[in-house]
Amino acid sequence: MAYSDKVLDHYNNPRNVGSMDKADPHVGTGIVGAPECGDVMKLQIKVNDATGIIDEAKFKTFGCGSAIASSSLATEWLKGKTVDEALAIKNTDIVNELSLPPVKIHCSVLAEDAIKAAINDYKAKSGAAKPASVEA
Amino acid sequence: MKFPIYLDNHATTPLDPRVLDAMMPYFQDQFGNAASRNHAFGWAAEEAVENGRKQVANLIGANAKEIIFTSGATESTNLAIKGVAEMYAERGNHIITAATEHKATLDTCKRLEKEGCRVTFLPVMQDGLIDLDMLRESLTDKTILVSIMYANNEIGVIQPVAEIGKLCKERGVLFHCDAVQAVGKVPVNVITDNIDLMSISGHKIYGPKGVGALYVRRRNPRVQLTAQIDGGGHERGMRSGTLNVPGIVGLGKACELAQKEMATESARMAAMRDRLKAKLTAALDETYINGSLTNRLPNNLNISFAYVEGESLLMGVTDVAVSSGSACTSATLEPSYVLKALGAGDDLAHSSIRFGIGRFNTEEEIDYTAEKVISVVRKLRELSPLYEMVKEGIDLTKVQWTAH
């Protein structure tokens, strides 16, 4: 199977690899996939409370080259977007950008799931944190 | 060093130049049909075929008359299993094979199952070997055939073939053995191993593609087969079709070379394999060798690098040709059924790499490969959320994964 140049580029030079503190209330963490399925993605976002903009995005992925590229690309796209804009990212956008073949579409689906999971985690945390700050 | 380095010798092997030299005349001046009985072209072709037959037979302790030439081992296996099932249908309809067999065996058995045969697919133990007691208990008075491979194409484990052969003989059941990976690498003898039918391939032993052989025992017992290809009654009526003369010459020459050089070559390959294994396991934690270490081909190393997915690893070692049991390298999205059958867990199947060392590999290539693999595994583990979780002390088996 031949990989597209963009997949190779993300594989060889993955963007935004790393981890942020899961306990930080500004950080949302999404972990999707399963080791026995051959891919697990961890995607994290850090949201600026004042602007609602994603300042930082990090990922770590266990998976094939297309899974690594999909999550690497996702972190690039997430930075600078608002949470609502981030929710609008679709797996098909990733498929098109990376020219993924049909057999690799599940990698893009997983990346979209990871984005949603990270945002949900952030929302749950900040939603839980906000009433507390109002009381204070 | 020439790149890419070829370390996928279980998939296919390069043609030995000496084999090509032997074949060339039969593409050119000696183009005759071995079945042409009335002129010199035919006689020359027939002589070459009979010489090839002897060379194949010598390597496996058979008589030349017991060698049937085919288009390859897949055809040999189809002919052996379907031919026996059809020929001995009145005696019984039960076939025993194993879960880790090559697809040529499994798919043939599955077809026969659809057509009314009963097939037992024996599980294997964690080291990849079948349990002889389980085989013994699976034999019934309806069992006509046991088909177990000599050595596995993915994990290289060598089955207890002589014991299987002895057991089958005692019970009057025919024994077919797919010896594609074993022939030329370990001594194979159809007499001492009590094998009744055996599949051999040309291109796994530095011979050409498109040619193989089936050993069919002629006495004690005389094995009969129902032909699966009709049209002229070549090869004792078991396999019609004009003989592939240059291919047969090549297969014969490959067998002759294997017989002469097997002892030194296997020792040399085992030394390189052990060197590769030692380097990888010394440099990297959590590496697991798949399959028995003792009953194993000298040239096989199948190893799982935990927390690293196989295809992504292959992507990083672009200048070394190896293969992976990862689902992402197959069209089915299922990881290797052979590794799954070992019961080690799908996650390790996804993380496996198969190295198949061959006649033309050098120590320098092994060292380069080891260094390359080590650096890519390290890089990918830096990228792996699983490796990070394990380092944080999280038990991955206790995590609620979102399987997809």
Q: Within this chain, do residues B224 and B293 fall inside the same structural domain, yes or no?
A: no
Is B312–A11 a contact, with Cβ atoms under 8 angstroms apart? yes
Among B258, B282, B313, give the residue marking a domain's end: B258
pLDDT digit string (tens) for B272-316? Answer: 999 999 999 999 999 999 999 999 999 999 999 999 999 999 999
Distance, in Å, from the CA atom of B64 to the CA atom of A55, rounded to the nearest integer, reads 76
Among B228, B258, B288, give the residue marking a domain's end: B258
A51 in any annotated domain: yes
B29 in any annotated domain: yes
B189 in any annotated domain: yes
| Confidence label for B121 from pLDDT (cuts 50, 70 and 90) | very high
Q: Within this chain, do residues B244 and B122 fall inside the same structural domain, yes or no?
A: yes
Average pLDDT, integer, range B63-69: 98
Q: What is the CATH number of the domain that holds A102?
A: 3.90.1010.10
Q: Within this chain, do residues B193 and B278 fall inside the same structural domain, yes or no?
A: no
Q: Does A113 touch chain B (CB under 8 A)?
A: yes
Q: Within this chain, do residues B195 and B298 fall inside the same structural domain, yes or no?
A: no
pLDDT digit string (tens) for B334-362? Answer: 789 999 999 978 888 899 999 999 999 99
Interface test with A, best of B305, B313, B314, B315 (most A CBs within 10 A): B315
Q: What is the CATH number of the domain that holds B82?
A: 3.40.640.10
* Cβ within 8 Å of residue B102, ≥6 positions away: B77, B149, B153, B178, B180
Q: Within this chain, do residues B287 and B171 fall inside the same structural domain, yes or no?
A: no
B357 in any annotated domain: yes
Q: What is the CATH number of the domain that holds B354?
A: 3.90.1150.10
Nearest to B312 among A42, A64, A109 (CB): A64
**Predicted pLDDT at A36:** 87
| Closest Cα in chain A to B325 | A38
Q: Say how many CA atoms lie within 13 Å of B68 toward its Cβ.
A: 32
Is A38–B346 a contact, with Cβ atoms under 8 angstroms apart? yes
pLDDT digit string (tens) for B129-188? Answer: 999 999 999 999 999 999 999 999 999 999 999 999 999 999 999 999 999 999 999 999
Burial code of B93-109, b = ≥16 C-beta within 10 A, e = fewer?
bbbbbbebbbebbbebb
Q: Coil, strand, or helix at residue A103?
A: helix
Among B216, B240, B258, give the residue marking a domain's end: B258
Neighbours of B17 (CB within 10 A): 10
Q: How is the beta sheet containing A39-48 ordered, strand by strand?
A: A27-34, A39-48, A53-62
**Predicted pLDDT at A133:** 43
Q: Within this chain, do residues B164 and B277 fall inside the same structural domain, yes or no?
A: no
**Predicted pLDDT at B269:** 98
Long-range contacts of the stretch A28-31 (C-beta < 8 A, 24+): A28/A118, A28/A119, A28/A120, A28/A121, A28/A122, A28/A123, A28/A125, A29/A117, A29/A118, A29/A121, A30/A113, A30/A114, A30/A115, A30/A116, A30/A117, A30/A118, A30/A119, A30/A120, A30/A121, A31/A114, A31/A117, A31/B385
Is A34–B382 a contact, with Cβ atoms under 8 angstroms apart? no
Question: Quick one: tokens of A104?
Answer: 């690799």
B403 in any annotated domain: no
Is A65–B311 a contact, with Cβ atoms under 8 angstroms apart? yes
Which residue did the predictor score with more confidence, A35 or B94?
A: B94
Q: Which residues of B touch A (CB under 8 A)?
A: 307-309, 311-312, 315-316, 326-328, 331, 333, 335, 345-347, 350, 382-388, 396, 401-404
Question: What is the extent of the structural domain holding A9?
Answer: 5-130
Q: Within this chain, do residues B317 and B215 fall inside the same structural domain, yes or no?
A: no
Least confident of A80-84, A93-97, A123-127, B4-8: A123-127
Output the average pLDDT for chain B.
96
Q: Within this chain, do residues B122 and B197 fall inside the same structural domain, yes or no?
A: yes
Q: Within this chain, do residues B59 and B198 fall inside the same structural domain, yes or no?
A: yes
**Predicted pLDDT at B233:** 92
Q: What sign for the dihedral angle of Cα B16, B17, B23, B28?
A: positive
A33 in any annotated domain: yes
A100 in any annotated domain: yes
A136 in any annotated domain: no
| Confidence label for B397 from pLDDT (cuts 50, 70 and 90) | confident
Is B403–A19 a contact, with Cβ atoms under 8 angstroms apart? no
User: Which chain A residues are within 8 Å of B347, Cβ to Cβ?
Assistant: 35-36, 38
ipTM value for the complex: 0.91
Nearest to A19 among B308, B388, B402 (CB): B388
> Judging by DSSP bridges, how do beta strands B118-122 and B94-98 pair with one another?
parallel
Nearest to B385 among A14, A36, A61 (CB): A61
**Predicted pLDDT at A132:** 43
Catalytic member of A107, A114, A115, A119: A107
B353 in any annotated domain: yes
**Predicted pLDDT at B331:** 60
Distance, in Å, from the CA atom of B258 to the CA atom of B201, rounded to the nearest integer, reads 13
* Cβ within 8 Å of residue B333, ≥6 positions away: A103, A106, B327
Whether this model's pTM surpasses 0.90: yes
Neighbours of A124 (CB within 10 A): 11
Is B347–A11 a contact, with Cβ atoms under 8 angstroms apart? no
B367 in any annotated domain: yes
pLDDT digit string (tens) for A93-134? Answer: 999 999 999 989 999 999 999 999 999 999 998 876 554 444
Q: How many structural domains comprise chain A? A: 1
User: Which chain A residues are within 8 Å of B327, Cβ to Cβ?
Assistant: 37-38
Question: What is the extent of the structural domain holding B22?
Answer: 17-258
| Confidence label for A9 from pLDDT (cuts 50, 70 and 90) | very high
pLDDT digit string (tens) for A21-60? Answer: 999 999 999 999 999 888 999 999 999 989 999 999 999 9
Distance, in Å, from the CA atom of B62 to the CA atom of B213, rounded to the nearest integer, reads 12
